[in-house]
Copies of this chain bind each other. A is one copy, B any other.
Amino acid sequence: MQQCGTKTRILDGAEQLFAREGFHNTSLRALTSLAEANLASVNYHFGSKDALLQAVIERRLLPLNQIRGAKIKEVLAQAQEDQLPPTADALLRAFIEPTLKFRNSSPGARDFISLIGRSLSEPDETVRNCFLSLVLPIFQELFAGLREALPQLAPAILLTRLQFIMGIMSHVMCMGTLSAFNNPALPPPLDQETLIDQLLKYALAGLEAPE
């Protein structure tokens, strides 16, 4: 069987429309028309609209999580070798940097990241769980690593602060489509490289603050 083109055309179109119009606001007719595929092809290749969403998320999130997981493990291994606790900075960077770098790797990736950024606050359980089940494991890895890095912090406080960081990330990930802050009364937005730096600096400063 060839690497069927229709399937990826549907995935690409769904990624774009789910991100820009929302999952419930995207009709299969609009999608298949954009992807130049037949209406029935979505159900043929994926089974249902819900399953399509899952496929859209898994296609990109599985590899991305693998990278993030590897980088975190790398930091932990290096720390063990050095007989030192890992630094919060290195752990955070391992989690955040691949995500935002990936976001700039292609137009579809940008749509995908904005879709992911929103899915944490998605009201629909089907949509949210599809994302959460893939992210929770790596989130717990990160949490465990940070507990080593910041042993003086109470776990509940650390978890809360880590969730603040998730909030910042979600927001940054979504901001691609948000033009409201391109306001003449406000300064222009930062370029990507300094944005990552600023995000890491900001996240870290709060994380290391005294209780």
Residue positions of A touching B, CB distance < 8 A = 19-22, 24-25, 117-118, 120-124, 128-129, 132, 136, 140, 143, 155-157, 159-161, 163-164, 166-172, 174-175, 177-178, 180-181, 183, 185-190, 195, 198-199, 201-203, 205-209
Partner of A167, one of B124, B170, B183, B209: B170
Identical chains in the assembly: 2
Q: What residues on B are CB-neighbors of A120 within 8 Å?
A: 171, 174, 178
Partner of A203, one of B166, B170, B206: B206
A25-B123, A164-B202, A206-B206 known; A159+B186 contact, CB < 8 A = yes
How far is it, in angstroms, between the C-alpha of A156 and the C-alpha of B180 when the chains are bound? Answer: 15
Partner of A205, one of B168, B187, B206: B206
Q: In whole Å, how far is A207's beta carbon from the nearest beta carbon of chain B?
A: 8
Q: List 23 A-B contacts (CB under 8 A).
A: A20-B123, A21-B123, A22-B122, A128-B178, A132-B180, A136-B180, A136-B183, A156-B187, A156-B188, A156-B190, A157-B190, A159-B189, A160-B195, A160-B198, A163-B175, A167-B169, A167-B172, A168-B168, A170-B170, A201-B206, A201-B209, A202-B206, A202-B207
Dominant secondary structure of chain A at its interface with chain B? helix
Q: What residues on B are CB-neighbors of A206 within 8 Å?
A: 201-203, 205-206
How far is it, in angstroms, between the C-alpha of A25 and the C-alpha of B181 when the chains are bound? Answer: 28
In the complex, the 9 A-B pairs of residues with the closest C-beta atoms, listed nearest first: A167-B171, A202-B206, A205-B209, A22-B123, A121-B174, A156-B187, A155-B187, A24-B24, A167-B168
B190 & A160 in contact (Cβ 8 Å cutoff): yes
B118 & A121 in contact (Cβ 8 Å cutoff): yes
Partner of A171, one of B25, B143, B163, B203: B163
